[in-house]
Amino acid sequence: MPRGYRDRADDSLLTLLGDLPELVTNLVKAEIDAAKAWVSRTSKDAGIGSVWFLVALFFLFWAVPVILVFAIAGLSSWWPVWLSAIAVFGILILAVLLFALLGILKFRKVLARQNPAQAVAEDIRLVKEAGDDEF
């Protein structure tokens, strides 16, 4: 049987009631462990997503002087200077878009995860449904 489960169909009511505290204790411990793991994963992913946004902001910060150099060079010269400024600006914008997309994807992953409160609510719903089926 998987994970130490046993058939309880032949157990008496007193045996089942005697096992109840241990089962509840195990459930509470499992929910606390799940909550710890969820907080750990969520904080790690949120931190990584924040770093991607900071990298995107870094490139955006340096894109502003490039566009200013483009305007000045475009007015003072012909093709070589401003064309190179446009190329650098385009590369920086692509980098901003890439890192912002990486950050968005990481935060979507964080938001899609089921948190421990949702898991407890699901457990309670399942127990209620099982109790309603008996009557």
Computed over every residue of the chain, the mean pLDDT equals 81
Share of the chain above pLDDT 70, in %: 82
Stretch 124-133: mean pLDDT? 77
- Pairwise pLDDT comparison (129 vs 34), residue with the higher score: 34
Q: Which of 13-17, 72-76, 106-110, 131-135 has the highest mean pLDDT?
A: 106-110
Q: pLDDT band for 13, please (50, 70, 90 cuts).
A: confident
The C-alpha atoms of residue 62 and residue 83 are separated, in whole angstroms, by 17
pTM summary value: 0.46
Q: pLDDT band for 1, please (50, 70, 90 cuts).
A: very low
Alpha helices (runs of H) in the chain, residue ranges in sequence order: 13-76, 79-112, 116-134
